[in-house]
Structure 1
Amino acid sequence: MADLHSTFLEFDDIIKLSSDKKKSLRTSRNSIREDIRDYFDENRDKHTVSFKGQGSFLMNTTIEPLSGEYDVDDGVYIFGKEEDKPTVQTAHNWIYNAVKDRTSSEPLDKNTCVRVIYKKDYHVDLPIYYKTDKSDDQFILDDEVPLLAHKSKGWVESDPYAFKKWFDDQAKSRPQLKRIVRYLKAWSNKKQEDNSLLRFPSGMVFTILASENYVSNGRDDKALLGTLKAIQQSIDDIKFLSANYSCYRPTVDMYENLLDKYSSQGTKSSFLNALDSFIKSGEQAVELESKKDACAKWQKHLGDRFPCSNVKDNNAESSAKVFASPDIIKRDNKSA
């Protein structure tokens, strides 16, 4: 049977951020931090500011996007007394004014962050938090949950660093898990590049689903397949009556179903159909004798970056297993 573990490892090297790109992103992020520190030193005498990275960049699950535009999240934490807490819009204005001259592009004041845009390369999202309690060395680890400046909801509890700690614990003795998350993100990225109208769940959703349904295996192809099947059995309530189409944060807010945003009939069906097709192709791939044929099965879902050109069969002729029937027909009448 075709063993493509080494091909998946090669794929991981292709899609994960290079050390040079990480260095470049950190340099830009740190420059933005200095802008904000300077602004607070000059304009705010009742508040101090600090920072905490968050999201996939900090968890080392960021992938090279097919669009070429990277997304970095850096939490801005404002400290002050309760009575000095600004309005949400005022907090956004402070950060916007601090970074407005950082690049030639005007920042975007979004619902949950201020975005600094580096043209045709990447952007840095700056979610803004308020805390009335500070420890000099581990400010984020105290009992007070930070409040996120959400323009439509007001100040709401949010703790992305707690999520980062949770994932670190999940991956601490399972380094394969981070690769599985990156493979899932590459799959999602490819599907949405193929169809810009298609809405796939967020990277956070895939991170949670992979962590909670992770299936370990000495081969990454089998580990990915096992994890996909476990995810499907967990959330596909169309095929499995015991499944529940839901995904909850392990940290604040633990009662928000993150899949609700992707539960409209068309969005849900498209995602679950794509998941089912991916699984069927994976099942066929691990049973094939020919590595080239198996690689083509995976490449259909992971994209041209999946390095099939480097795969060689031991036999001169393909020894692919012949299926008695074509790929199983899905709900959308497309084969795996």
Structure 2
Amino acid sequence: MADLHSTFTEFDGIIKLNSTKKSSLRTSRNSIREDIRKYFDEKREDHSVSFKGQGSFMMNTTIKPISNEFDLDDGVYIFGKEEDRPTPQTAHNWIYDAVKNRTSSESLDKNTCVRVIYKSDYHIDLPIYYKVDKSKDEYTLDDEVPELAHLSKGWIKSDPYAFKKWFDGEAKNKPQLKRIVRYLKSWSDKKQTDNSKLIFPSGMIFTILASNCFIEDERDDISLLETLKAIQEEIDDTRFDDAYYECYRPTVDETEDLLNKYAAKTTKENFLNALDSFIKSGNQAIELESKKDACAKWQKHLGDRFPCSTIKEESSDTSARVFSNPDQIGFDHKSA
């Protein structure tokens, strides 16, 4: 059977953020933080502010998207008295005003964040939270559930830092799990790049599903395939009687089914059919003798960045395949 563990780890090196890109993102993030601190020091005497990184960047599951437009999430935490709580729109206005001149591109005020756009190849999203009591340590933000300034829903309880802590616990001493999450995100990126109308679940959903269904193995190709199968058995209610098309947050709000957003008939069918196709190709790849043939099966779903060109076929891989049928061998011992 074709062992493509080394090809998968090479792929992981291709898609994950390198130290140079991480440093660039951190520099931009820190400059934005200084803009916001300065704004609050000068204009908001009833409020203070601190920050907490969140999302895939902090969990080390960010991938380089095919479009090359990176994103980073940095939570902005506003502290003040309950009677001084602003409306969500006012909170957004404060942050927008603080960062609007950071880049030459116009910042965007979105439903759940303010976005600062860097023309090079990335943007930084700033979700805004309010907390009534500030801890002595500004980085201890889990003593009270913050509330997110959501422009259409108002102030809603949200704790992305708690989600990061949950995932850190799930991935402790399991570096393979983070690689599996990155592979799943790359698959999603490839599918949606090929078809801009295709809607796939979010990176958070893939992170939760991978964590809940993770199957460890010394080989990444087998771990990915078995994890995909476990996910399918968990959520594909069109193929498994005991499955439920659900994915609940492990942290606030634990009653929210994240897959409900992707439950429209066509969206659900497209996702589950793509998952089934991925599994079928994975099964075929594992059974093949030729590494190049197996790689082509995976590459179909993971894209051209999956490094099949670097594979060197071992003689035993090709000989078994070429001469497996005695009828193909002529009298002069050459293939017919």
Shorter-chain-normalised TM-score: which range?
A: over 0.9
Aligned equivalent of 1:79: 79
Pairwise CA distance, 1:137? 1.6
**Structure 1 residue ranges without an equivalent (≥5):** 323-336
Output the amino acid matched with 1:205.
I
Report the AA paired with residue 206 of structure 1: F
Retained in 2: the 8 A contact 1:290–1:318? no
- How many residues are matched? 323
Distance across 2 between alignment mates of 1:22 and 1:153: 33
> Residue 133 of structure 1: CA displacement?
1.1
After the TM superposition, which residues 29-178 of structure 1 pair with which residues of structure 2 at under 5 Å, given as runs? Answer: 29-137=29-137, 139-178=139-178
**Does the alignment pair 1:243 with 2:243?**
yes
Whichever residue aligns with residue 216 of structure 1, its letter is E
| Offset, 1:320 | 4.5
- Taking the aligned partners of 1:136 and 1:9, their CA distance within structure 2 comes to 42
Q: What is the aligned partner in structure 2 of residue 298 from structure 1? A: 298
The superposition leaves residues 241-260 of structure 1 with CA deviations (integer Å, 9 ceiling, x where unpaired) of 11000001100010111001
TM score, norm. by length of structure 2:
0.94
Does the CA contact (< 8 Å) of 1:140 and 1:161 recur in 2?
Answer: no
Listed one character per residue, the Cα deviations across residues 269-293 of structure 1 (whole Å, up to 9, x for unaligned) are: 0000000000000001011110010
2:334 aligns with: none
Q: Post-superposition shift, 1:138?
A: 5.2
Contact 1:2 1:291 in 2 (8 A): yes
Percent identity, aligned pairs only, is 74
Structure-1-length-normalised TM-score? 0.94
- CA shift at 1:139, angstroms? 4.8
> Contact between 1:48 and 1:79, CA under 8 Å: does it hold in 2?
yes
Give the aligned partner of residue 197 of structure 1. 197
**Aligned counterpart, 2:310:** 310
Residues 321 and 239 of structure 1: CA distance in aligned 2, closer, same or farther (over 3 Å): farther
Cα distance, 1:128–1:268 mapped onto 2, change above 3 Å: same
Return the letter of the residue paired with 2:133: D
Contact 2:91 2:128 in 1 (8 A): yes
* Paired residues of 2:106 and 2:116 also in contact (CA < 8 A): yes
Provide the C-alpha distance between the structure 2 equivalents of 1:4 and 1:288, rounded to a whole number of angstroms: 11
Rounded Cα–Cα distance in structure 2 between residues aligned with 1:147 and 1:247: 22
CA contact (8 A) 1:61 1:179 kept: yes
Q: Is 1:268 aligned to residue 268 of structure 2?
A: yes
Structure 2 counterpart of 1:213, one-letter code: C
Equivalents in 2 of 1:13, 1:229: separation in Å?
A: 24
Q: Give 1:294's aligned amino acid.
A: A
Equivalent residue, structure 1, for 2:232? 232
CA contact (8 A) 1:95 1:114 kept: yes
Which residue of 1 is the match for residue 332 of structure 2? none
Structure 2 residue matching 1:238: 3-state secondary structure:
coil
State the Cα distance separating 1:75 from its structure 2 match: 0.1
